[in-house]
Amino acid sequence: MKKLIFLLAIVWGFQLQAQDNGIFDNDKQQQKSRQNFESGVQEAYMYGPGDISLEVGFDPRSIFNASSGGDMFGFIGNQLRYRKFNVEGNAFRMGMGIHYVRLSNVVVQPTDDDPALHEYVTDWGISLMPGYEKHFHVSSRFSPYMGYQVLFGYHRTSYAYEYLDGSTVYQYKWINDPSKTGYGSMDIGAGFITGFDYFIVKHLYVGLELGLGFQYSHYLDTQIVDEGDSDNNETYENGSAIILAPGLTSGFIRLGWVF
């Protein structure tokens, strides 16, 4: 935990230094810088001061492995991203990942006297990933960059089956059980990123991004809940994990539009 606090302090220090270096200039300076920027060949395709971009990302590994989620930030990904460009052509960014999956299956077929009984698997999560990018405008179409981002995430899973007691259907549920559906967790992390944007036409670009990140995951308690008999309810504590690994984002390939 001390290492995590130290790493986040370093990242925060970088952000404060970036602010002190004039990223937040007044409107007049921003307008002048934009006019200078627009007079160059880069404006034919790229973003200028004050522009924003919206993009979506996906993980090509999922084409070959449907269960590729769950690794470094992978279970929630970095699917959507907003960027705001300053007068220096760099960008503040906010990534968001969200997913919800609920599967159901009939385990006991209905009869004339009894209803069907089901089992359910639920998996959902959300993440926010703010960060900063330093861009190097190599040409009118190509802009490599490097920077950092931090992670705040939440992930929850459950498995339940129905059973019949008399004429009433109840659920027996495991929540955040690693033996059933995997851990639920609260996550925090930070990492360094590098990538590039390539403009296909004006305003439209594709990008590739890689990263090295540090993540701390606190696993949520496992709960067993019996709707028909509360005496069977139980709660188990789980541990935590610290990970240092490549793959800070799961959305390596990106498609975006500049406004």
Residue pair 191/211 in contact by the 8 Å Cβ criterion: yes
Say if 169 falls within a structural domain.
no
Extended strands (E) in the chain: 52-58, 80-85, 91-108, 117-135, 142-165, 168-175, 185-201, 204-219, 222-226, 234-236, 240-246, 253-258
At 4 the pLDDT is 42
User: Residue 185 domain-assigned?
Assistant: yes
Mean pLDDT of 45-60: 83
pTM: 0.73
Residue 170 within a domain:
no
- Higher local confidence (pLDDT), 244 or 169: 169
Residue 16 or 113, more confident: 113
Q: Which of 84, 111, 68 is nearest to 24 (CA)?
A: 84
What are the distances in angstroms from CA 102 to CA 70, 99, 108, 123?
17, 10, 19, 7
pLDDT of residue 230: 94
Residue 137, pLDDT score: 83
Q: Is residue 167 part of a domain?
A: no
Q: Which residues contact 89 (CB under 8 A, 6 or more apart)?
A: 37, 47, 48, 49, 135, 137
At residue 139, the pLDDT reads 86
Q: Confirm whether 166 is domain-assigned.
A: no
Q: Average pLDDT, whole number, for the chain?
A: 80
For residue 213, give the CATH number of its domain: 2.40.160
* Single-letter residue type at 132: Y
Average pLDDT over residues 176-200: 93
- Residue 186 falls within a domain, yes or no? yes
Under a CB-based contact definition with an 8 Å cutoff, are residues 125 and 155 in contact? yes
pLDDT at 33: 42
Position 17 in a domain = yes
Q: Is pLDDT at 125 greater than 50 in this prediction? A: yes
Residue pair 69/75 in contact (Cβ under 8 Å)? The answer is: yes
- What is the span of the domain harbouring residue 24? 2-102+120-156+180-226+237-258
pLDDT digits (tens, 9 = 90+) for 138-173: 888 999 999 999 999 999 999 999 999 999 999 999
When divided into structural domains, the chain yields a total of 1
Q: What is the dihedral of CA 166, 167, 173, 179, to 10 degrees?
A: 60
Q: Is residue 219 part of a domain?
A: yes
Instruction: Quickly state the pLDDT bin for 78 (edges 50, 70, 90).
Output: low
Instruction: Residue count of the chain, please give it.
Output: 259
